Amino acid sequence: MEYAIEAIELRKLYGDVIALDRVTFHIKKGEIFGLLGPNGAGKTTTIKIFTGLTKPTSGQAIVAGFDVVKNAREVKKRVGWIASEVIVDDELTGWENLEIQAKLTGVKNWKERAQDLLKYFNLWEAANRPVGKYSTGMRKRLEVAMALLHSPEVLFMDEPTIGLDVGARVGLWEVVERINKDFGVTVLLTTHYMEEAERLCHRIAIINKGRIIAIGTPDELKTKYGTDIIELEVKDKVDTSVLSKFGEVILEDGKVIIKTKNAEEIIPEVVKAIGSVKSVKLKKTSLDTVFMNLTGASIEGEQVNIQRLYRRIRLARR
Amino acid sequence: MIREIYVLYKREFLKLIRSKYMWFMMIAQPLMWILFFGNSLAGMPSSFLNQYFGVSNYLTYMLPGMISILMMTMGVFASMSLVFDKRVGYLKRILTTPTPKSAIGLAKALGAVTRGILTMSILLFLGIVLGVQFTVNLIALLEWFVSLVAVGIGFSLIFMALTANTADVQAPGAVMNLITMPLMFTSTALFPKQFFPSWLQIISEANPLTYLTEIGRSALVYGTIPSLSHLIAVLTFTAVSMVLGTIVIEKTLTAE
């Protein structure tokens, strides 16, 4: 099996800061691969290395068999890039933006292709309007059209749906699926949205602090790192020792929270063991929980801090 | 390379002519130079003007010099535009394509030269309207035009090379102060060199603006064919700055 994208022991240092720490992954041709990680994990740095915007400190990055440092030109001919911030020239029209992209990537029959893409992305009517007058969704669609103009083998998408409304987001997902299925384009995308990763990606790598900490299909990751959460409201005090055999138990203002693997099967036993249950809530494992478990990110933790901070601000004002 | 330079130049050109402020500046700036600076010596006895400048009207003498300074400062716009493209991320868009970095620099240099030629045309027109009498020599005029384009490209590449690795919007201004002020005052753009102290004369002879200005004066003021050495000096300056500028841009231009 030939790989479309390979990262081998990639390291990137910005001064003393380690942005990437020996990152290794292999993406097969025709695969949609997701890089998931919190802000500052090294997702954008990875994409910058693969698109030739920055050089790795050490290690190798290979696209379609070409080394991104030694054969930058060959790599750039074969890749398309979609930025997290939409980058188009606002003072020029959609058509002019496409012309620049076409001439820079050396597309021969660019006018026909540009016309097809504009029609496909529903921008044909707006082709001669300055891009500054486009809506965010239109600008994003234009950016995608620009990235596809030269029929890239590999598409790098850095948080492609950030800032889009639900409709535009689903629309873009469909586009990604279509170009992947119909034209066999390999896609490497980064995202914060678990829903997006689950819907689009064949395989996912979770990256944190510059290291890959897990890699696999969404289902594999869920089985391996996921936890179901059972939340019970109880009437009386509960003896946690009888519950510990089911999994990790947390008591929190009148609630019992049990982290476990196969929640559906053990719920009856848990209810029996506690006796006085008012209500049961079940949260099945999702990529969200996998992500939280692996990266140690906790939204609750942040909320506590904000409460404390807010209290302090109020005290200071008096 | 040609294709990339062409399309990036087209971008510069379209952005240039679509900007209202650019048109305003292009008209307002020459107007102020002519009205305020050009007339600052208007009341001077013409015998003195003839002795000092070799012409009876300072405005006539100054115009080619002013155009030299103008061409040099256009490089600042190239450098500012490059930094701006970094700030908005557009440079990343270009650099993810197989475009050579030097093509980006050359396209911006041509954009700056275009701006300079447009401004210069307005300046000459205003000069004529205000009654400046030119004694034209056509060969010299052609030489002058070539020299203006050459010097414009040369300075633009120098300015961009010096700010290629930064995204700091202050950088082009700092470089401008470093380069334009000394070059302006050590050239013959504003005053003739026969009254300079000898050390300043030496500097002015190493200053490309001096040669550009003298070619311009031959074309418009004296109506003579300038010495070939002037043109050689200008083209040498451009060749050196093009080679060094493109090498530095290729090596140091950062995407952001």
Disruptive mutation site among B84, B93, B165, B254 for chain A (greatest number of A CBs within 10 Å): B93
CB contact under 8 A, A104 and B6: no
- Chain A to chain B Cβ contacts (< 8 Å): 65
What CATH number is given for A227-284 in this structure? 3.30.70
Give the pLDDT confidence score for residue A318 in this predicted structure.
Answer: 66
Give the pLDDT confidence score for residue A300 in this predicted structure.
Answer: 47
Contacts of A83 in chain B (CB under 8 A): 89, 92-93
CB contact under 8 A, A83 and B89: yes
Contacts of A131 in chain B (CB under 8 A): none
The answer for A 142-201 residues in CB contact with B (under 8 A) is: 146
Mean pLDDT of A117-130: 93
Contacts of A89 in chain B (CB under 8 A): 11, 15, 90
Give the pLDDT confidence score for residue A299 in this predicted structure.
Answer: 42
Contacts of A107 in chain B (CB under 8 A): none
Of B7, B92, B98, the CB nearest to A76: B98
Contacts of A48 in chain B (CB under 8 A): 255
Contacts of B255 in chain A (CB under 8 A): 48, 53-54
CB contact under 8 A, A103 and B7: yes
Mean pLDDT of B26-39: 82
CB contact under 8 A, A53 and B95: yes
Of B6, B8, B92, the CB nearest to A83: B92
Contacts of A105 in chain B (CB under 8 A): 97-98
- What percentage of chain A has pLDDT greater than the value 70? 97
* pLDDT digits 0-9 by tens, B91-102: 999 999 999 999
What CATH number is given for A3-222 in this structure? 3.40.50.300
Each domain of chain B, given as residue ranges in start order, spans 1-252
Rounded distance between C-alpha atoms, residue A96 and residue A91, angstroms = 10
Give the HSE-up count for residue B114: Cα atoms under 13 Å, Cβ half-sphere: 18
Rounded distance between C-alpha atoms, residue A33 and residue B39, angstroms = 69
Contacts of B11 in chain A (CB under 8 A): 89, 92, 96, 100
Residue of B nearest to A100 (CA): B7
Contacts of A51 in chain B (CB under 8 A): 96
CB contact under 8 A, B7 and A87: no
Please state which of the ranges A175-184, A245-254, B159-168 shows the lowest mean pLDDT: A245-254
Structure tokens at B121: 């045309």
Of B4, B11, B99, the CB nearest to A89: B11
Residue of A nearest to B93 (CA): A87
Rounded distance between C-alpha atoms, residue A315 and residue B134, angstroms = 77
Please tell me the pTM assigned to this model. Answer: 0.86
Count other C-beta atoms under 10 Å from residue B160's C-beta: 30
CA distance to partner chain A, nearest, from residue B69 (Å):
29
Could you tell me which of A50, A54, A43 has the C-alpha nearest to residue A19? A43
Evaluate whether A261 touches A247 at the Cβ level (below 8 Å). Answer: yes
CA distance to partner chain A, nearest, from residue B159 (Å):
23
Mean pLDDT of A176-183: 91
Assess whether the region A3-222 and the region A227-284 belong to the same CATH fold. Answer: no
CA distance to partner chain A, nearest, from residue B110 (Å):
16
CB contact under 8 A, B255 and A99: no
Rounded distance between C-alpha atoms, residue A88 and residue B208, angstroms = 38
Each domain of chain A, given as residue ranges in start order, spans 3-222, 227-284
CA distance to partner chain B, nearest, from residue A202 (Å):
26
Evaluate whether B143 touches B229 at the Cβ level (below 8 Å). Answer: no
Give the HSE-up count for residue A236: Cα atoms under 13 Å, Cβ half-sphere: 7
The label of the residue with tokens 């948080």 reads A159
CB contact under 8 A, A89 and B98: no
* pLDDT digits 0-9 by tens, A271-309: 888 878 888 888 888 888 788 778 775 444 555 567 777
Burial of B82 (0-12, 13-18, 19+ CB in 10 A): buried
Could you tell me which of A141, A80, A71 has the C-alpha nearest to residue A107? A80
Task: Give the three-class secondary structure for A235.
Answer: coil
* pLDDT digits 0-9 by tens, B158-216: 999 999 999 999 999 999 888 988 898 889 888 888 888 888 888 888 899 999 999 99
Rounded distance between C-alpha atoms, residue B167 and residue B163, angstroms = 8
Rounded distance between C-alpha atoms, residue B43 and residue B59, angstroms = 12
CA distance to partner chain A, nearest, from residue B183 (Å):
34
Count other C-beta atoms under 10 Å from residue A13's C-beta: 14
Give the pLDDT confidence score for residue B73 in this predicted structure.
Answer: 92
The answer to whether the complex's ipTM is over 0.90 is no
